[in-house]
Amino acid sequence: MIEGKSLRSDLHRLARALTALHHAMPDPEARRKLGILMADLDECLDDEEALAVDMERRFHIEVERLLGPLPPADPAFRERYTAMLAASPAVAIADAALRVVLARMPVPPQP
């Protein structure tokens, strides 16, 4: 059961970090795209039976494909996100906090 609690805690930390990033983003379209990922994560957190270590890896990969460093799932979004990182200290700070959370999660396999 400790593993389940740890997994749930990791995913909740990820959800909080994504929420902070979402609030920092000035681009409504970027917020919408990130919001879709956040909604998927919330659904998984609500489903006790769905929680598994694979879920952590799945969201780790999805975040890194959206925001980097994995190859982009959406190159146009990645380009806008990279510009936001350079232009907005709030986005850069929220991104750095998100990277700390990701670093504590299981490392996803290389695609």
pLDDT tens digits, residue range 81-93? Answer: 999 999 999 999 9
d(CA 5, CA 37): 22
pLDDT tens digits, residue range 58-73? Answer: 899 999 999 999 999 8
DSSP string, 11-73: HHHHHHHHHHHHHH---HHHHHHHHHHHHHHHHHHH-GGG--HHHHHHHHHHHHHHHSSSPPS
Mean pLDDT of the chain: 87
Integer Rg of the chain from CA: 14
